[in-house]
Each structure stands twice: as C-alpha cells, then as structure tokens.
C-alpha cells in the first residue's frame, strides 16, 4: 500500500484466552511490572474485572482497555471476554488491534472458546504471540499443548506465515514469562519485548484526513456518551470540527467536549492524538457502534463492524404477580424499557424490540449466560420484572426452516459417557469425535442444535455428579432437526395466596422436589416445586393442621423437612417451560405460570 507509514511509538494488542486461563491476572502483572502503579500503591487482584459480577463469577464480560509503557513504546492492551456468549465484544476488540496474545492453559490446552476467538483473529490477519500459561501446575503438559495449538492453527486454515508464531511460557500468578521451558526468569520482560518486536506498529496514510471507527461505547455521569475507537488516519485535536457517518450514510456534525487516551487504567485528557492510538471522545450523542467519526471537510466512511446475529430471544415484561412492588424499587414498564435500550448502547450483541403489548419487550442475544448477566445486573440495580423461557431464533431460507447449530465439547469421567451421549442423542445431538485422555476422562465433540442446550446444563452437572465440563460455540445454521421432548416432569403449583407452612410442605414432599421454605409468601399460579409426575399439580402449601381438643404428644411440633436448595437465575432459566415465567426481584427469584388463575390455564 503506497504512502503508508507506521507509528512506531504505539502497539495495540488483544489478549485472547478461554474462560479462566489467566488472562486478567496476567494483565494485572503487566500493569504492575511496567511501572503503571507507583511504588507502594495498593492494587486489587484482577483489577481489570471491575464489574461485581465479573469478580464473583471469575469471568470477564465486557472488553476492557488499558495501556502500559515499555521502552518509550505505548502498548494498548485490550482484555477480551473468554466466553462464547460475549463473542460480540471479542469481534469489536479485534478491530482495534494489530496483534494478539493467545493465552492457553498448560494443562487444559486450547479449548472451544480459544478456537472461536483465534478464528476471528486469523481472519483479521493479526500477528499472534502464543503464551502457554500456568506451566507450574502439577498436571502441566506444555509440549503436548503446543502441538495441540499447531493442530488448531492448521485446522483453522492458518497461512504459513501465521504458523510461524513466537512462543512464550508463563506463570501468570507469579508474574513471570520465558522464551523456553529451560530458562529461568522472574519477570514479564520477555512478553513486553516480544510485543514490541513482533506486533506491527499501526500503519496509516499521512495524507488522509482524520478517521476513527467507533468500536465501543461507554457512558459517564459527568461527560455523557463516550465513543471509544482507534484512529485509523490523521490526527485529532480536542476542538476539531468533526462529523459522524451513520449506517445510512448520514453525516451528523459533532463537537467533542473532551479528548482522552488510556494511561494505565485511567483516562488521561490530551490536546491531540495521533493515528494508531486508541482514543475516547466525550460529549457526543447519537453515535452507534460501527459509525465512522471523520473530519468535517473531507468525511469518508470506514467499513462497518459486523457482528454475528443473535441466536436466542427472551420476553421481558412487568411483574404482574400479587407480590409485585414489594421488593423492588423500579417496577414501571417505561423504566424497564429505558434500561434495556441503554444496554444496547454498550452491548452490540444485544437487540431489543417492542411488542404489541405496552409493557413487554423482546431481548435478543447470544446465549443463556449473556441473558442471565443482564437480568442479574438489572436485579442488582433495583428492578423488578418477569422473564420468559429463552427461545431459539430460527431462519427461513428457500422454504426451509434453519436452526442455529453449536459445536459442543464435553469433558467428563469415562463412567458418565453413556448417559451424556444418550441424553444428547435424544436432543438431536450427533457425536462427531471421541477421545480417551488416558486419565480416566473422555473428551467428546458433538454437533447439537442450540435449543438442545437450553435447560441441559443443570441436567448435565447432575448426570456427571458435578465433575463434567461443557463448552460450545456457534457453528452455523442447518435444517431443523426435528422435535424432541423437553422437561419430563410437571410443576407443583400453589392454588392460593398466603404463606407456606411446615405442615403443608411436609405432606407435599412425597409429591416431588420443593422450591419453597416455611414462611415464604406464595400466590395462586406460583410454582413451588417440581412434580414427580409429568403433569402439573395444583396444591395448597398454606394448609394448617386442624386443631383438635385431643392433647398431642408433642412430636408433631418437630416436623423435619428436606433442605431446599436456593433457586439461582441459571437454574430457573433451565427449568421453566413455554407456559412459565421467572419473577425477578432484588431479593428473590420465583417461578410462576404465565397465566396465574387455575381456571384460566
């Protein structure tokens, strides 16, 4: 490409890894060792996982950015999510970088999500640095894992040039990396040096005017809407006259109130930024992800970002149960709608649609986990609402119904192979590959419809006694594979409003598994347990023991009930059927029938 020059003072890299392979921990040590934190400053572990939910679940949900300086070169680091449901974040992050560190666990090897993100990185022609992490684990097998990584690259049609990647070995927790297993080292300098030497500096055309692609949005209480992206060409100054080019090609004039760049984990206000750097523009409204921000005199649009389509939808409605408004602060349909649309500003993989009913909204996303995270975030913010069962989004082409198909990887004890394959074949899954790891565990690969995995995760954990691991990524769309039976058991449904009492629950225990404890409020249409039989059963959980004038021996006072496992959001999403909903409040998660009255169902 003629006239292109490189900005040697900047490197932009993403860190790609599977869930829990040590990505965020490694970035922590990079920040500490590059002198980003001053001596003596107290630093939390996993500083990059700033959301409460991220710290609790130990996963990264939203891609974060930070920067470090190494030998006068600014390295912008993007920490990407490692879970397939947040793939939208990954694709956007890769648009801003020229290279990526592929971080792989020395024991587990490359897992499905590694494959998903690496495929995207190779398609974007990024320079890959392979880093095998956790080499101090007792079950580490770095040489075998390296061969698996080569196999994965070949499997993904990597070019010869892409196969010649630099290799590093690391112990992220101790903050050390080395070029070979024989070396001994006590810092991350090899990683910094490899980034500066191997990752190409961002190239740009000095004759082109300013162009920036908006790859992420944020919101600040003080500065309003923030547009985050990489400067592809030209320079930008804080007082420049700019335009935003929308998806329809419209040009909207802009005036930025603040120009910022990443400095460590903080934002630093600057007067101007050069091509290749990642900048944050403040005070601009009506900007969407994928828009180009350009010079007013010569506006030119950059290619827009494309993100895989959503595969699952859920219905969000206001809470209409008799307990509505007792536990949440925000219950109005308009507020719920506003919050959901605000989510689409930051999250490109989410789509929200209004329905014919005023207080119902359809939310489309990538999977159950992504939906559960949004529901949990809203719940913590004080919202109260109900959600329906996740529904898979089908496509119709040439008169055929197509459904999303996932590639599912199962790692379980060899004793459970039979039950796992049996259950998945009932759900229209096809076994593609099976490999005995020799340690008593078996790795299986299935091609399954996305709808088969809705409600299967908890069943899988029960079948494998909590020891099984399953991961999946979206493979594409195929012709509909046919129906299969979903949950076999019916529900135990309360037939009245009141409070659950021990005597009634004790008599209901033989009927199935209960979800409520004595003293909990119940109402007509609320699901209080899973029936041992296929049909739903209306029951009375409020029935007191009749008082008689015959003196009791006192043994009735000591009713002993089976302990109830707390209902989690994921468990609730897995459990409900098409005619059931989840009532979500800041304090409780309850299950209910969509139509509460027994005589109307």
CB neighbours of residue 222 within 10 Å? 8
User: Annotated binding residue at 513?
Assistant: no
User: Annotated binding residue at 568?
Assistant: no
- Distance separating alpha carbons of residues 212 and 234, to the nearest angstrom: 9
User: Annotated binding residue at 134?
Assistant: yes
User: Annotated binding residue at 132?
Assistant: no
Please give the DSSP secondary-structure letter assigned to residue 61. Answer: -
Q: How far is CA 451 from the centre of its chain?
A: 18
User: Tokens 């003293």 appear where?
Assistant: 519
**CA separation (Å) from 116 to 82, 126, 164, 562?**
9, 14, 20, 43
Please give the DSSP secondary-structure letter assigned to residue 556. Answer: G
Q: Which of 277, 259, 255, 257 is nearest to 267 (CA)?
A: 259
User: Annotated binding residue at 490?
Assistant: no
Paired with 231 in beta bridges are 212
Please give the DSSP secondary-structure letter assigned to residue 567. Answer: P
CB neighbours of residue 485 within 10 Å? 8
Q: Checking DSSP bridges between strand 10-17 and strand 99-105, what pairing results, if any?
A: parallel
Q: What angle do the packed helices 87-95 and 112-123 form, to 10 degrees? A: 30
- Distance separating alpha carbons of residues 406 and 85, to the nearest angstrom: 12
- Distance separating alpha carbons of residues 373 and 381, to the nearest angstrom: 12
* Sheet containing 127-133: order of strands: 64-70, 73-79, 10-17, 99-105, 127-133, 167-171, 176-178
CB 455 within 8 A of CB 494: no
CB 48 within 8 A of CB 28: yes
User: Annotated binding residue at 355?
Assistant: no
Three-class secondary structure of residue 318 per DSSP: strand
User: Annotated binding residue at 464?
Assistant: no
User: Annotated binding residue at 290?
Assistant: no
User: Annotated binding residue at 351?
Assistant: no
User: Annotated binding residue at 133?
Assistant: yes
As annotated, the binding site includes 20-25, 133-136
As annotated, the binding site for GTP includes 20-25, 133-136
């Amino acid at each position: 490409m003629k006239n292109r020059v490189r900005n040697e003072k900047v490197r932009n890299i993403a860190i790609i890894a599977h869930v829990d392979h040590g990505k965020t921990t490694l970035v922590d040590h990079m920040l500490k060792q590059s002198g980003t934190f001053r001596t003596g400053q107290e630093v939390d572990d996993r500083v990059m996982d700033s959301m409460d939910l991220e710290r609790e679940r130990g996963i990264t949900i939203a891609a974060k950015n930070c920067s470090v300086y190494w030998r006068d070169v600014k390295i912008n680091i993007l920490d990407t999510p490692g879970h397939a449901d947040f793939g939208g974040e990954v694709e956007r992050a890769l648009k801003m970088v020229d290279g990526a560190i592929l971080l792989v666990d020395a024991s587990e090897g490359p897992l499905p999500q590694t494959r998903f993100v690496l495929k995207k990185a190779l398609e974007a022609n990024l320079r890959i640095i392979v880093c095998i992490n956790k080499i101090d684990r007792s079950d580490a097998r770095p040489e075998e894992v390296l061969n698996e990584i080569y196999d994965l690259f070949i499997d993904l049609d990597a070019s010869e040039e892409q196969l010649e990647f630099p290799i590093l070995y690391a112990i992220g927790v101790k903050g050390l990396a080395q070029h070979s297993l024989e070396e001994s080292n006590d810092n991350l300098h090899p990683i910094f040096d490899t980034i500066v030497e191997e990752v190409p500096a961002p190239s740009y055309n000095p004759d082109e005017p300013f162009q920036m692609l908006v790859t992420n949005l944020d919101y600040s209480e003080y500065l309003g809407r923030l547009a985050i992206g990489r400067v592809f060409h030209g320079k930008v100054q804080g007082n420049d006259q700019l335009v935003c080019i929308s998806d329809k090609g419209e040009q909207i004039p802009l005036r930025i109130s603040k120009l910022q760049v990443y400095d460590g984990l903080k934002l630093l206000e600057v007067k101007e930024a050069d091509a290749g750097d990642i900048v944050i523009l403040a005070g601009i409204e009506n900007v969407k992800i994928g828009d180009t921000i350009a010079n007013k005199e010569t506006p030119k649009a950059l290619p827009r970002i494309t993100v895989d389509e959503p595969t699952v939808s859920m219905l969000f409605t206001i809470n209409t149960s008799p307990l509505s408004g007792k536990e949440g602060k925000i219950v109005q349909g308009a507020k719920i709608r506003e919050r959901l649309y605000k989510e689409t500003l930051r999250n490109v993989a989410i789509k929200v649609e209004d329905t014919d009913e005023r207080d119902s909204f359809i939310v489309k996303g990538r999977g159950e986990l992504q939906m559960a995270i949004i529901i949990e975030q809203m719940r913590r913010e004080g919202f109260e609402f109900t959600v329906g069962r996740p529904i898979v989004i089908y496509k119709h082409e040439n008169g055929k119904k197509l459904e999303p198909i996932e590639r599912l990887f199962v790692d379980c004890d060899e004793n459970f192979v039979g039950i796992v394959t049996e259950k998945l074949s009932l759900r229209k899954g096809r076994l593609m590959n099976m490999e005995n790891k020799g340690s008593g565990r078996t790795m299986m690969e299935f091609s399954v419809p996305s709808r088969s995995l809705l409600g299967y995760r908890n069943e899988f954990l029960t079948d494998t006694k909590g020891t099984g691991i399953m991961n999946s990524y979206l493979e594409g769309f195929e012709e509909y594979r046919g129906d299969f039976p979903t949950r076999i058991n019916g529900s135990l449904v309360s037939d009245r409003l009141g409070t659950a009492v021990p005597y009634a629950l004790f008599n209901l225990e033989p009927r199935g598994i209960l979800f409520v404890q004595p003293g909990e409020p119940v109402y007509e249409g609320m699901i209080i347990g899973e029936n041992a039989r296929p049909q739903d059963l209306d029951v009375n959980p409020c029935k007191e023991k009749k008082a008689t004038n015959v003196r009791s021996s006192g043994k009735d006072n000591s009713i002993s009930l089976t302990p109830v496992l707390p209902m989690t959001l994921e468990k609730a999403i897995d459990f409900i059927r098409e005619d059931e909903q989840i009532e979500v409040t800041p304090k409780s998660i309850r299950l209910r029938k969509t139509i509460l009255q027994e005589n109307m169902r």
